[in-house]
Structure 1
Amino acid sequence: MPPSRQNGRRTARLVVLVSGSGTNLQALIDATSDPTTGPDYGAEIVAVGADRDDIEGLGRAERAGIPTFVVKTSEFDDRVDWDVALADSVASHEPDLVVLAGFMKLVGPAFLGLFGGRTINTHPALLPSFPGTSAPRDALEYGVKVTGATLFVVDDGVDTGPIIAQVPVPVLDDDDVETLHERIKVSERAMLVEWVGRLVREAVDHQPHPEEPS
Protein backbone atom coordinates (compact mmCIF):
# COMPACT_ATOMS: atom_id res chain seq x y z
CA MET A 1 0.00 0.00 0.00
CA PRO A 2 1.57 3.33 -1.03
CA PRO A 3 2.12 6.00 1.63
CA SER A 4 -0.28 8.91 1.73
CA ARG A 5 0.76 12.52 1.80
CA GLN A 6 -0.35 15.45 3.93
CA ASN A 7 0.53 19.00 2.92
CA GLY A 8 3.01 17.58 0.41
CA ARG A 9 4.80 15.57 3.11
CA ARG A 10 4.90 11.78 3.14
CA THR A 11 2.83 10.49 6.05
CA ALA A 12 4.45 7.77 8.16
CA ARG A 13 2.43 4.63 8.84
CA LEU A 14 2.00 3.66 12.50
CA VAL A 15 0.89 0.33 13.92
CA VAL A 16 0.04 0.59 17.61
CA LEU A 17 -0.10 -2.48 19.89
CA VAL A 18 -2.21 -2.43 23.06
CA SER A 19 -3.24 -4.75 25.89
CA GLY A 20 -5.63 -2.65 27.94
CA SER A 21 -7.51 0.63 28.10
CA GLY A 22 -5.47 2.36 25.40
CA THR A 23 -5.01 5.82 26.87
CA ASN A 24 -1.66 6.25 25.10
CA LEU A 25 -3.32 5.05 21.90
CA GLN A 26 -6.07 7.63 22.36
CA ALA A 27 -3.48 10.38 22.69
CA LEU A 28 -1.99 9.30 19.35
CA ILE A 29 -5.43 9.06 17.74
CA ASP A 30 -6.17 12.60 18.90
CA ALA A 31 -2.83 13.89 17.60
CA THR A 32 -3.16 12.29 14.17
CA SER A 33 -6.83 13.17 13.66
CA ASP A 34 -6.92 16.73 15.00
CA PRO A 35 -8.19 18.86 12.08
CA THR A 36 -5.94 21.75 13.09
CA THR A 37 -2.63 20.02 13.80
CA GLY A 38 -3.11 16.52 12.39
CA PRO A 39 -2.10 17.36 8.80
CA ASP A 40 1.27 18.59 10.07
CA TYR A 41 1.84 15.77 12.57
CA GLY A 42 3.40 13.52 9.94
CA ALA A 43 1.81 10.16 10.81
CA GLU A 44 -1.35 8.13 10.52
CA ILE A 45 -2.38 5.08 12.53
CA VAL A 46 -3.02 2.35 9.96
CA ALA A 47 -3.83 -0.47 12.41
CA VAL A 48 -4.13 -1.31 16.09
CA GLY A 49 -3.21 -4.77 17.32
CA ALA A 50 -3.76 -6.54 20.63
CA ASP A 51 -2.99 -9.77 22.42
CA ARG A 52 -6.55 -10.22 23.69
CA ASP A 53 -10.15 -9.48 22.76
CA ASP A 54 -12.70 -7.17 24.35
CA ILE A 55 -10.41 -4.41 25.58
CA GLU A 56 -11.06 -0.70 25.49
CA GLY A 57 -7.95 -0.11 23.40
CA LEU A 58 -9.54 -2.00 20.51
CA GLY A 59 -12.79 -0.14 21.12
CA ARG A 60 -11.01 3.20 20.82
CA ALA A 61 -9.52 2.13 17.49
CA GLU A 62 -12.83 0.84 16.15
CA ARG A 63 -14.63 4.05 17.09
CA ALA A 64 -11.96 5.98 15.22
CA GLY A 65 -12.38 3.79 12.14
CA ILE A 66 -8.93 2.21 12.46
CA PRO A 67 -8.51 -1.46 11.43
CA THR A 68 -7.74 -3.85 14.30
CA PHE A 69 -6.32 -7.33 14.74
CA VAL A 70 -5.79 -9.71 17.67
CA VAL A 71 -3.02 -12.29 18.07
CA LYS A 72 -3.53 -14.29 21.28
CA THR A 73 -0.74 -16.31 22.85
CA SER A 74 -3.30 -18.95 23.85
CA GLU A 75 -3.88 -19.82 20.19
CA PHE A 76 -0.28 -20.94 19.63
CA ASP A 77 1.77 -23.87 20.88
CA ASP A 78 4.60 -21.63 22.08
CA ARG A 79 5.76 -18.04 22.23
CA VAL A 80 7.98 -18.50 19.17
CA ASP A 81 4.99 -19.27 16.94
CA TRP A 82 3.05 -16.42 18.51
CA ASP A 83 5.92 -14.02 17.87
CA VAL A 84 6.05 -15.04 14.21
CA ALA A 85 2.30 -14.57 13.85
CA LEU A 86 2.42 -11.18 15.54
CA ALA A 87 5.25 -10.07 13.27
CA ASP A 88 3.35 -11.24 10.20
CA SER A 89 0.17 -9.45 11.28
CA VAL A 90 2.01 -6.20 11.89
CA ALA A 91 3.99 -6.54 8.64
CA SER A 92 0.77 -6.86 6.62
CA HIS A 93 0.07 -3.19 7.44
CA GLU A 94 3.52 -2.04 6.23
CA PRO A 95 4.35 0.23 9.17
CA ASP A 96 7.17 2.72 9.28
CA LEU A 97 7.02 2.74 13.09
CA VAL A 98 5.51 0.35 15.64
CA VAL A 99 4.38 1.79 18.97
CA LEU A 100 3.86 -0.45 21.99
CA ALA A 101 1.22 1.49 23.91
CA GLY A 102 0.64 -0.50 27.07
CA PHE A 103 1.34 -3.77 25.25
CA MET A 104 2.10 -6.26 28.00
CA LYS A 105 3.91 -8.96 26.04
CA LEU A 106 7.60 -9.15 25.21
CA VAL A 107 8.27 -9.36 21.49
CA GLY A 108 10.82 -11.90 20.28
CA PRO A 109 13.42 -12.53 17.57
CA ALA A 110 10.98 -12.85 14.66
CA PHE A 111 9.34 -9.53 15.51
CA LEU A 112 12.61 -7.72 16.14
CA GLY A 113 14.05 -9.20 12.96
CA LEU A 114 11.44 -7.23 11.03
CA PHE A 115 10.92 -4.20 13.24
CA GLY A 116 14.02 -3.90 15.39
CA GLY A 117 15.15 -0.29 15.56
CA ARG A 118 11.70 1.03 14.67
CA THR A 119 9.62 -0.27 17.57
CA ILE A 120 9.26 2.05 20.55
CA ASN A 121 7.76 1.74 24.01
CA THR A 122 7.19 3.87 27.09
CA HIS A 123 7.97 3.06 30.71
CA PRO A 124 6.73 4.84 33.87
CA ALA A 125 10.15 5.55 35.37
CA LEU A 126 13.44 7.17 34.47
CA LEU A 127 15.25 4.16 33.05
CA PRO A 128 17.56 2.48 33.81
CA SER A 129 16.01 2.96 37.26
CA PHE A 130 13.01 0.80 38.14
CA PRO A 131 12.53 -1.45 35.10
CA GLY A 132 9.73 -4.00 35.10
CA THR A 133 6.02 -3.90 35.80
CA SER A 134 5.92 -2.17 39.21
CA ALA A 135 7.94 0.97 38.54
CA PRO A 136 5.76 3.53 40.41
CA ARG A 137 5.58 1.27 43.46
CA ASP A 138 9.33 0.66 43.31
CA ALA A 139 10.01 4.39 43.11
CA LEU A 140 7.85 5.07 46.17
CA GLU A 141 9.40 2.26 48.17
CA TYR A 142 12.90 3.44 47.29
CA GLY A 143 12.05 6.94 48.43
CA VAL A 144 13.06 8.94 45.36
CA LYS A 145 11.88 12.53 45.11
CA VAL A 146 11.75 12.54 41.30
CA THR A 147 10.69 9.78 38.94
CA GLY A 148 9.20 10.11 35.47
CA ALA A 149 8.67 8.38 32.15
CA THR A 150 10.97 7.11 29.42
CA LEU A 151 10.52 6.55 25.70
CA PHE A 152 12.90 3.93 24.34
CA VAL A 153 13.66 1.67 21.40
CA VAL A 154 12.58 -1.91 22.06
CA ASP A 155 15.32 -4.53 22.08
CA ASP A 156 15.47 -8.13 23.30
CA GLY A 157 15.70 -7.18 26.97
CA VAL A 158 13.20 -5.88 29.52
CA ASP A 159 13.17 -2.06 29.34
CA THR A 160 16.83 -2.08 28.24
CA GLY A 161 16.75 -0.48 24.78
CA PRO A 162 18.29 2.84 23.75
CA ILE A 163 16.59 5.81 25.40
CA ILE A 164 14.95 8.35 23.08
CA ALA A 165 13.49 10.78 25.60
CA GLN A 166 12.64 11.17 29.28
CA VAL A 167 10.39 13.45 31.28
CA PRO A 168 10.72 14.00 35.05
CA VAL A 169 7.76 13.79 37.44
CA PRO A 170 8.10 14.86 41.09
CA VAL A 171 7.06 12.47 43.83
CA LEU A 172 4.78 14.29 46.26
CA ASP A 173 4.78 13.65 50.00
CA ASP A 174 1.19 12.36 49.94
CA ASP A 175 1.55 10.22 46.82
CA ASP A 176 0.44 6.62 46.77
CA VAL A 177 1.04 4.25 43.86
CA GLU A 178 -2.18 5.20 42.10
CA THR A 179 -1.80 8.98 42.31
CA LEU A 180 1.84 8.85 41.30
CA HIS A 181 1.18 6.51 38.38
CA GLU A 182 -1.70 8.66 37.10
CA ARG A 183 0.49 11.76 37.16
CA ILE A 184 3.27 9.90 35.36
CA LYS A 185 0.79 8.79 32.69
CA VAL A 186 -0.13 12.39 31.90
CA SER A 187 3.51 13.27 31.23
CA GLU A 188 4.09 9.94 29.46
CA ARG A 189 1.27 10.59 26.96
CA ALA A 190 2.51 14.09 26.18
CA MET A 191 6.06 12.80 25.66
CA LEU A 192 4.87 9.97 23.42
CA VAL A 193 2.81 12.25 21.20
CA GLU A 194 5.59 14.81 20.91
CA TRP A 195 8.33 12.32 20.10
CA VAL A 196 6.39 10.10 17.71
CA GLY A 197 5.71 13.22 15.68
CA ARG A 198 9.32 14.35 15.87
CA LEU A 199 10.67 10.92 14.94
CA VAL A 200 8.47 10.44 11.90
CA ARG A 201 8.91 13.98 10.60
CA GLU A 202 12.68 13.74 10.98
CA ALA A 203 12.78 10.36 9.24
CA VAL A 204 10.66 11.59 6.36
CA ASP A 205 12.66 14.79 5.96
CA HIS A 206 15.85 12.70 5.60
CA GLN A 207 14.40 10.42 2.93
CA PRO A 208 14.78 11.08 -0.80
CA HIS A 209 11.68 12.53 -2.41
CA PRO A 210 10.99 10.72 -5.68
CA GLU A 211 8.63 12.22 -8.16
CA GLU A 212 5.01 11.32 -7.67
CA PRO A 213 3.71 8.86 -10.31
CA SER A 214 1.48 10.47 -12.88
Structure 2
Amino acid sequence: MGQNMPGSAHGAFLAVSLILVAATCIQFTVEFSRELWDWEDKGKSVSQLQLDLELAEERRIPEARRLTPSAVERQASYKERTPAEVERLRRESRHYRRVHLWMQWLLFFSSAGVTAITAWYDPPQPGKGVLIALGFTITVITAATGYFKPRERAFNLQQTADSIEEHVTALDLGIAPYVQAEDVNLELFATNVENMRVEQRKREQQLDQPHQGQQEVI
Protein backbone atom coordinates (compact mmCIF):
# COMPACT_ATOMS: atom_id res chain seq x y z
CA MET A 1 0.00 0.00 0.00
CA GLY A 2 2.94 2.29 0.74
CA GLN A 3 4.24 1.82 -2.81
CA ASN A 4 0.96 3.12 -4.25
CA MET A 5 1.06 6.37 -2.23
CA PRO A 6 3.47 8.24 -4.56
CA GLY A 7 1.32 7.39 -7.58
CA SER A 8 -1.83 8.57 -5.81
CA ALA A 9 -0.12 11.78 -4.76
CA HIS A 10 1.04 12.46 -8.32
CA GLY A 11 -2.45 11.78 -9.65
CA ALA A 12 -4.02 14.17 -7.15
CA PHE A 13 -1.42 16.82 -7.94
CA LEU A 14 -2.09 16.45 -11.67
CA ALA A 15 -5.86 16.75 -11.17
CA VAL A 16 -5.49 19.88 -9.05
CA SER A 17 -3.11 21.39 -11.62
CA LEU A 18 -5.59 20.78 -14.43
CA ILE A 19 -8.39 22.40 -12.42
CA LEU A 20 -6.23 25.47 -11.72
CA VAL A 21 -5.24 25.79 -15.37
CA ALA A 22 -8.89 25.53 -16.48
CA ALA A 23 -9.95 28.13 -13.92
CA THR A 24 -7.14 30.46 -15.07
CA CYS A 25 -8.20 30.13 -18.69
CA ILE A 26 -11.83 30.89 -17.83
CA GLN A 27 -10.75 33.90 -15.78
CA PHE A 28 -8.66 35.33 -18.62
CA THR A 29 -11.49 34.72 -21.06
CA VAL A 30 -13.91 36.65 -18.87
CA GLU A 31 -11.46 39.47 -18.22
CA PHE A 32 -10.41 40.12 -21.81
CA SER A 33 -13.49 39.16 -23.82
CA ARG A 34 -15.43 42.29 -24.85
CA GLU A 35 -18.50 40.26 -25.78
CA LEU A 36 -19.07 39.28 -22.14
CA TRP A 37 -19.03 42.90 -20.86
CA ASP A 38 -22.35 44.38 -21.88
CA TRP A 39 -22.01 47.20 -19.35
CA GLU A 40 -18.53 48.27 -20.46
CA ASP A 41 -17.95 52.03 -20.63
CA LYS A 42 -18.63 53.34 -24.13
CA GLY A 43 -15.98 56.04 -23.84
CA LYS A 44 -18.20 59.00 -22.89
CA SER A 45 -16.53 61.82 -21.07
CA VAL A 46 -17.59 63.02 -17.64
CA SER A 47 -18.92 66.28 -19.06
CA GLN A 48 -21.05 64.38 -21.59
CA LEU A 49 -22.45 62.15 -18.84
CA GLN A 50 -23.28 65.23 -16.72
CA LEU A 51 -25.03 66.84 -19.69
CA ASP A 52 -27.08 63.69 -20.29
CA LEU A 53 -28.04 63.63 -16.61
CA GLU A 54 -29.15 67.30 -16.68
CA LEU A 55 -31.23 66.72 -19.80
CA ALA A 56 -32.87 63.67 -18.25
CA GLU A 57 -33.67 65.68 -15.12
CA GLU A 58 -35.22 68.47 -17.20
CA ARG A 59 -37.39 65.94 -19.02
CA ARG A 60 -38.41 64.29 -15.76
CA ILE A 61 -39.82 67.44 -14.11
CA PRO A 62 -42.51 68.23 -16.77
CA GLU A 63 -43.39 64.54 -16.96
CA ALA A 64 -43.81 64.36 -13.18
CA ARG A 65 -46.02 67.46 -13.22
CA ARG A 66 -48.12 65.97 -15.99
CA LEU A 67 -48.57 62.68 -14.13
CA THR A 68 -49.25 64.26 -10.70
CA PRO A 69 -52.89 63.52 -9.81
CA SER A 70 -55.26 66.24 -8.72
CA ALA A 71 -56.00 67.00 -5.08
CA VAL A 72 -59.33 65.18 -5.28
CA GLU A 73 -57.64 62.06 -6.68
CA ARG A 74 -54.98 62.16 -3.97
CA GLN A 75 -57.66 62.55 -1.30
CA ALA A 76 -59.61 59.62 -2.75
CA SER A 77 -56.43 57.53 -2.72
CA TYR A 78 -55.82 58.60 0.88
CA LYS A 79 -59.30 57.42 1.79
CA GLU A 80 -58.60 54.02 0.21
CA ARG A 81 -55.42 53.64 2.30
CA THR A 82 -57.20 54.50 5.54
CA PRO A 83 -58.44 50.93 6.34
CA ALA A 84 -54.83 49.72 6.31
CA GLU A 85 -53.93 52.46 8.79
CA VAL A 86 -56.84 51.44 11.02
CA GLU A 87 -55.68 47.82 10.93
CA ARG A 88 -52.12 48.88 11.82
CA LEU A 89 -53.34 50.87 14.82
CA ARG A 90 -55.45 47.97 16.05
CA ARG A 91 -52.59 45.53 15.58
CA GLU A 92 -50.28 47.70 17.67
CA SER A 93 -53.04 48.13 20.24
CA ARG A 94 -53.42 44.35 20.57
CA HIS A 95 -49.65 44.01 20.92
CA TYR A 96 -49.44 46.47 23.80
CA ARG A 97 -52.53 45.00 25.44
CA ARG A 98 -50.96 41.53 25.38
CA VAL A 99 -47.70 42.90 26.77
CA HIS A 100 -49.63 44.54 29.59
CA LEU A 101 -51.56 41.35 30.37
CA TRP A 102 -48.39 39.24 30.42
CA MET A 103 -46.75 41.74 32.76
CA GLN A 104 -49.74 41.75 35.07
CA TRP A 105 -50.01 37.95 35.22
CA LEU A 106 -46.29 37.60 35.84
CA LEU A 107 -46.54 40.22 38.56
CA PHE A 108 -49.48 38.39 40.17
CA PHE A 109 -47.73 35.01 40.15
CA SER A 110 -44.47 36.49 41.46
CA SER A 111 -46.26 38.26 44.30
CA ALA A 112 -48.21 35.11 45.17
CA GLY A 113 -45.00 33.07 45.01
CA VAL A 114 -43.25 35.39 47.46
CA THR A 115 -46.13 35.05 49.91
CA ALA A 116 -46.36 31.26 49.53
CA ILE A 117 -42.64 30.62 49.91
CA THR A 118 -42.36 32.96 52.87
CA ALA A 119 -45.25 31.12 54.59
CA TRP A 120 -43.90 27.66 53.71
CA TYR A 121 -40.31 28.17 54.88
CA ASP A 122 -39.84 29.62 58.35
CA PRO A 123 -37.12 30.76 58.37
CA PRO A 124 -37.04 30.98 54.54
CA GLN A 125 -33.48 29.71 54.19
CA PRO A 126 -34.13 26.94 51.59
CA GLY A 127 -36.18 29.28 49.42
CA LYS A 128 -34.00 32.37 49.76
CA GLY A 129 -32.77 32.17 46.15
CA VAL A 130 -36.33 31.83 44.85
CA LEU A 131 -37.46 34.75 46.98
CA ILE A 132 -34.65 36.91 45.63
CA ALA A 133 -35.52 35.99 42.03
CA LEU A 134 -39.22 36.66 42.56
CA GLY A 135 -38.54 39.96 44.29
CA PHE A 136 -36.27 41.00 41.43
CA THR A 137 -38.97 40.02 38.92
CA ILE A 138 -41.59 42.07 40.72
CA THR A 139 -39.31 45.11 40.81
CA VAL A 140 -38.46 44.86 37.10
CA ILE A 141 -42.07 44.35 35.99
CA THR A 142 -43.34 47.21 38.14
CA ALA A 143 -40.68 49.56 36.80
CA ALA A 144 -41.22 48.45 33.18
CA THR A 145 -44.99 48.87 33.47
CA GLY A 146 -44.61 52.36 34.85
CA TYR A 147 -42.04 53.35 32.24
CA PHE A 148 -43.41 51.84 29.01
CA LYS A 149 -47.14 52.17 29.94
CA PRO A 150 -48.39 49.42 27.58
CA ARG A 151 -51.97 49.71 28.86
CA GLU A 152 -52.15 53.42 28.06
CA ARG A 153 -50.57 52.89 24.65
CA ALA A 154 -53.05 50.14 23.80
CA PHE A 155 -55.97 52.33 24.85
CA ASN A 156 -54.79 55.32 22.79
CA LEU A 157 -54.17 53.23 19.69
CA GLN A 158 -57.55 51.51 19.93
CA GLN A 159 -59.29 54.86 20.48
CA THR A 160 -57.64 56.38 17.41
CA ALA A 161 -58.48 53.34 15.28
CA ASP A 162 -62.13 53.46 16.35
CA SER A 163 -62.35 57.19 15.62
CA ILE A 164 -60.84 56.82 12.15
CA GLU A 165 -63.15 53.90 11.35
CA GLU A 166 -66.11 56.01 12.47
CA HIS A 167 -65.15 58.71 9.96
CA VAL A 168 -64.66 56.10 7.22
CA THR A 169 -68.16 54.76 7.83
CA ALA A 170 -69.64 58.26 7.88
CA LEU A 171 -67.96 59.09 4.56
CA ASP A 172 -69.15 55.85 2.93
CA LEU A 173 -72.73 56.40 4.12
CA GLY A 174 -72.75 60.12 3.36
CA ILE A 175 -73.83 61.11 6.86
CA ALA A 176 -72.69 64.05 8.99
CA PRO A 177 -70.24 65.63 8.76
CA TYR A 178 -69.82 64.35 5.18
CA VAL A 179 -73.03 65.59 3.56
CA GLN A 180 -71.57 67.97 0.97
CA ALA A 181 -70.05 67.50 -2.46
CA GLU A 182 -67.63 64.61 -2.96
CA ASP A 183 -64.52 66.76 -3.29
CA VAL A 184 -65.44 68.72 -0.17
CA ASN A 185 -66.13 65.51 1.76
CA LEU A 186 -62.78 64.01 0.75
CA GLU A 187 -60.92 67.15 1.79
CA LEU A 188 -62.73 67.23 5.14
CA PHE A 189 -62.10 63.52 5.66
CA ALA A 190 -58.37 63.81 4.97
CA THR A 191 -58.15 66.80 7.34
CA ASN A 192 -59.96 65.00 10.16
CA VAL A 193 -57.94 61.80 9.83
CA GLU A 194 -54.63 63.67 9.75
CA ASN A 195 -55.65 65.64 12.85
CA MET A 196 -56.42 62.38 14.67
CA ARG A 197 -53.08 60.91 13.64
CA VAL A 198 -51.29 64.03 14.88
CA GLU A 199 -53.11 63.78 18.22
CA GLN A 200 -52.11 60.11 18.45
CA ARG A 201 -48.45 60.97 17.91
CA LYS A 202 -48.67 63.69 20.55
CA ARG A 203 -50.10 61.21 23.06
CA GLU A 204 -47.30 58.76 22.24
CA GLN A 205 -44.73 61.50 22.83
CA GLN A 206 -46.32 62.39 26.17
CA LEU A 207 -46.11 58.75 27.24
CA ASP A 208 -42.43 58.68 26.28
CA GLN A 209 -41.66 61.69 28.46
CA PRO A 210 -40.74 61.34 32.16
CA HIS A 211 -43.47 62.00 34.71
CA GLN A 212 -42.00 65.37 35.68
CA GLY A 213 -41.80 66.39 32.02
CA GLN A 214 -45.47 65.50 31.53
CA GLN A 215 -46.47 67.74 34.44
CA GLU A 216 -44.49 70.61 32.99
CA VAL A 217 -46.14 70.13 29.59
CA ILE A 218 -49.58 70.09 31.18
Q: Normalised by the shorter chain, which TM-score bucket?
A: under 0.3
TM-score by length of 1: 0.25
Structure with bigger strand share is 1
Structure possessing the higher relative contact order (Cα contacts under 8 Å, 6 or more residues apart): 2
Larger radius of gyration: 2
